[in-house]
Amino acid sequence: MSQGINSLADNATDAKCQLKSKLSSCANPLTRRGINSTAHSSSPLKWTQTQQDLSASSPLKRTLVMSQGINFLTDNATDVTHPHTLIAQIPTLTPSQDIPPLTPEVPPKRPVEPLPEPQPPAPSPAPEPVIPSPPPPPTTAEPVPGEIPESITIERFEFEGNTAISDEELTIATKDFLNRPLSFAEVYKVRSTVTELYNKRGFITSGAIIPPQTFKKTENVVKIQVIEGGLEAIEVRGTRRLNPNYIRSRVALGAGTPLNRTALIEALQLLQLDPLIKNLAAELTAGTRSDSSLLIVQVEEAKTLHLDASLNNNRSPNIGTLERRLELTQANLFGQGDGVTVGYSNTNGSNTLDAIYTYPLNPLNGTLSFTTSFTFSNVVEPPFNRIDIDANSRYFALSYRQPLWRNLREEFALGVSATNQRSKVTIFDVPVRLSPGTEEDGSTTVTALRFFQDWIQRSNREVLALRSQFSLGLGFLGGTVNEDAPDSNFLAWRGQVQWLRVLAPNTLLLLRGDVQVSTNPLLRLEQFGLGGQDTIRGYRENVLLTDNGASASAELRFPILGLPKQNALLQVGPFVDLGFVWNNSGNPDPAPDPNFLAAAGLGFRFQMGDRLSARLDWGFPIINIDSSERTLQENGVYFSVIYRIF
């Protein structure tokens, strides 16, 4: 359901620094990554769709499925988010001011993954009929012993072998043949009527025959044998590194007995959305038996090795707003559809190494993933760059996600993550306690179980994505435990929503919402932040950081330049962002003042195929808040550029 909405990771330490100058605090969210891919129309006699060459960790993720004249937007299974480290915000000071306490923030990974921003479906023609029907089941001659009457009267029909359509439905379909004289040619039409009913329901390999039996002139009970066809085998051709069972098991989800054309096409279309598949064609042929067919699936694998470079100014001014990043992805590492992404990012004051490995567990796209990151940072923002403030962190997470149902219109998934994150802050290599809950050695550790639910619904005009996450902090595996101050024992809920509506070609309305509620005062690593490109544009990253909060955004995007030959589009979008925050009772931090932020501005988005994506936002704060205005970010200007090198 990304796949938008942001979630906050973490700050490093608490407590007061016993320096003559005290320092201040703020957190930083991680940047969002998504991947774009497009499926194209099919041939009239074969199911064929084409997807652009993209991996699961590409920076541009958009997938389009075409079915019966409707374009469906899907969200992709993989939204790759890389960890960041942030040092808290430092306000502009005058000689007469006291310097408020500084809390270096070290959020290596956000507790809630951001929803990837939904991409609108592009208009396209309805696909032609796909998957040709195999020849109908062979008929059987009916030898009639004795004298053959010229006509017979049938009292009722007896149906055998039917499971997909009930006896009652078949009786209604054949009622016109009862209790009147019928020629044998008309009796044969009964089997055609049953076969047509099966074909209308999508059971294109099923049919009916009249088995050998004796007919009387009147009071006949005629047996109709229904042959419900299935697949004899699924033959996969064209794979190179990808295990054919990866394809076969996913196609088999729509290949039950009796074989249904609609279900099979949907399984193939869902498979086409897989970033490992570039081209996919399926052909249904007759099998070796009358009740079976052979499905031949021709696959062209997508390129799975990618290197992406990005540049943005979304980091905290404390460590330098300008971030450079390189990300290497192999989306099919061992040929099982398993992917790994390794990334390196840095600012003037930080270096981060991170990696994520994901293994598919079943054909429904259940996955098990392991994520880790290590961050090393120091404050570079004046005047605190004169003090040797360092913050190091590490993060580990093991996650399981399982869709419970998944089709072209809807997906619902449940998941659980076990996370452990630790950060430590020093000044001149001496551990310090800079924020509430920090341990004596300057470290903060959070161990938590996170239960999440994702739901996304798509149509040809809109996409609705919801995410919910419950985080339960645990006081073991090194988790920080305190008697009164915030610690690793907590319960918090995070909810996120996005709604995208296509108003006209390339004209979109995007609404976003984000809320967090906790039962306890939280460590910096778990708090909710406002300010920045992903929350309230016009303010520096996480200028407000508290236990609870909510934010909302509305944006309307219009096309102003299109270059079809270059597959490029430039959009402009006015936006309004707002949010408010509050702390729980017992939190030693002072109540934020102000606790409400609002901004309006203008954004530009440029995309050229799958190679280049750029974004520029200029926000104007409506609520004034102290800021040094030293950087573009603090003047309300945010930008990001993502380029695929190969």
Query: Does the pLDDT value for residue 36 go beyond 90?
Result: no
AA letter at 139: T
Q: 315 with 347: CB under 8 angstroms?
A: yes
What residue ranges of the chain are covered by domains with CATH 2.40.160.50?
47-125+303-644
In this structure, the chain runs to a length of: 646
For position 280, what pLDDT does the model report? Answer: 94
Q: At what angle do helices 244-251 and 261-272 cross, to 10 degrees?
A: 140
Would you call 272 helix, strand, or coil by DSSP?
helix
Strand partners, 495: 468, 515
For position 627, what pLDDT does the model report? Answer: 77
Q: In degrees, to the nearest 5, what angle opens at C-alpha 146 toward C-alphas 195 and 212?
A: 25
For position 85, what pLDDT does the model report? Answer: 29
When pLDDT is averaged across residues 499-524 and rounded to a whole number, the result is 96
How far apart CA 298 and CA 285 sit, in angstroms, is: 14
Q: Minimal CA–CA distance to 136: which of 229, 262, 200?
A: 229
Sorted by sequence, the CB contacts under 8 Å of residue 329 that are 6+ apart come out as 55, 56, 57, 58, 80, 304, 305, 306, 307, 308, 339, 340, 341, 342
SS (H, E, C) 357-391: EEEECCCCCCEEEEEEEEEEEECCCCCHHHCCEEE
For position 94, what pLDDT does the model report? Answer: 33
For position 17, what pLDDT does the model report? Answer: 31
Q: In degrees, to the nearest 5, what angle opens at C-alpha 104 toward C-alphas 102 and 109?
A: 150
Sheet holding 220-227, edge to edge: 181-182, 152-160, 220-227, 207-209
Would you call 236 helix, strand, or coil by DSSP?
strand
When pLDDT is averaged across residues 243-261 and rounded to a whole number, the result is 95
How far apart CA 646 and CA 644 sit, in angstroms, is: 6
Q: What is the mean pLDDT of the chain?
A: 81
- Counting residues of the chain whose pLDDT is more than 70, the rounded percentage is 77
Query: Does the pLDDT value for residue 74 go beyond 60?
Result: no
For the 47-125+303-644 domain, the top CATH level (class) is mainly beta
For position 131, what pLDDT does the model report? Answer: 56
Q: Which two three-digit tokens encode residue 167?
A: 């006896």
When pLDDT is averaged across residues 132-153 and rounded to a whole number, the result is 55
Q: How far apart are the first and last CA of the chain?
A: 27
For position 150, what pLDDT does the model report? Answer: 75
Other Cβ atoms less than 10 A from the Cβ of 561: the count is 10
When pLDDT is averaged across residues 100-117 and rounded to a whole number, the result is 46
How far apart CA 600 and CA 9 sit, in angstroms, is: 25
Phi, psi of 367, rounded to the nearest 5 degrees: -135, 150
User: Burial, 543: exposed, middle or buried (Cβ in 10 Å; 0-12, 13-18, 19+)?
Assistant: buried
Phi, psi of 360, rounded to the nearest 5 degrees: -75, 135
- Top mean pLDDT of 121-130, 381-390, 487-496 is at 487-496
Phi, psi of 168, rounded to the nearest 5 degrees: -65, -45
For position 115, what pLDDT does the model report? Answer: 63
- Counting residues of the chain whose pLDDT is more than 90, the rounded percentage is 64
For position 603, what pLDDT does the model report? Answer: 97
How far apart CA 290 and CA 285 sit, in angstroms, is: 12
At the second CATH level, the architecture of 152-227 is Roll (3.10)
E strands in 29-127: 47-50, 63-67, 70-74
The band of 50, judged by pLDDT with boundaries at 50, 70 and 90, is: very low
* Measured torsion, CA atoms of residues 50, 56, 61, 64, in degrees rounded to the nearest 10: 30
For position 113, what pLDDT does the model report? Answer: 55
For position 121, what pLDDT does the model report? Answer: 56
For position 216, what pLDDT does the model report? Answer: 79
Q: Which two three-digit tokens encode residue 435?
A: 């924020």
When pLDDT is averaged across residues 26-51 and rounded to a whole number, the result is 35
What residue ranges of the chain are covered by domains with CATH 3.10.20.310?
152-227
For position 493, what pLDDT does the model report? Answer: 98
Other Cβ atoms less than 10 A from the Cβ of 56: the count is 25
Largest CA distance in the chain: 119
User: Burial, 125: exposed, middle or buried (Cβ in 10 Å; 0-12, 13-18, 19+)?
Assistant: exposed
Per the model's pLDDT, the better-predicted residue between 148 and 444 turns out to be 444
Query: Does the pLDDT value for residue 520 go beyond 60?
Result: yes
How far apart CA 505 and CA 347 sit, in angstroms, is: 38
CA quadruple 631, 633, 636, 638: dihedral sign: positive
Of the candidate ranges 49-63, 316-330, 363-377, 603-617, the one whose mean pLDDT is the lowest: 49-63
Over the stretch 293-302, which tens digit does the pLDDT of each residue have?
999 999 999 9
How far apart CA 440 and CA 428 sit, in angstroms, is: 16
Strand partners, 426: 390, 431
For position 403, what pLDDT does the model report? Answer: 98
Query: Does the pLDDT value for residue 48 go beyond 70?
Result: no
For position 214, what pLDDT does the model report? Answer: 83
Per the model's pLDDT, the better-predicted residue between 47 and 78 turns out to be 47
Over the stretch 553-608, which tens digit does the pLDDT of each residue have?
999 999 999 999 999 999 999 999 999 999 999 888 888 889 999 999 999 999 99
The band of 61, judged by pLDDT with boundaries at 50, 70 and 90, is: very low
Per the model's pLDDT, the better-predicted residue between 391 and 147 turns out to be 391
Per the model's pLDDT, the better-predicted residue between 122 and 616 turns out to be 616
Query: Does the pLDDT value for residue 14 go beyond 50?
Result: no
Strand partners, 87: none
Q: Minimal CA–CA distance to 574: which of 606, 600, 535, 597?
A: 600
DSSP 387-442: S-EEEEEEEEEEEEEEEEEE-SSEEEEEEEEEEEEEEEEEETTEE---STT--TTS
Q: Which two three-digit tokens encode residue 572?
A: 């402009």
Of the candidate ranges 208-222, 295-309, 535-549, the one whose mean pLDDT is the lowest: 208-222
How far apart CA 410 and CA 264 sit, in angstroms, is: 17
Of the candidate ranges 75-89, 176-190, 191-205, 614-628, the one whose mean pLDDT is the lowest: 75-89
Sheet holding 47-50, edge to edge: 47-50, 277-286, 292-301, 230-237
Query: Does the pLDDT value for residue 53 go beyond 70?
Result: no
Over the stretch 388-416, which tens digit does the pLDDT of each residue have?
999 999 999 999 999 999 999 999 999 99
Q: Minimal CA–CA distance to 545: which of 590, 586, 577?
A: 590
The band of 114, judged by pLDDT with boundaries at 50, 70 and 90, is: low
When pLDDT is averaged across residues 510-538 and rounded to a whole number, the result is 95
How far apart CA 16 and CA 31 sit, in angstroms, is: 30
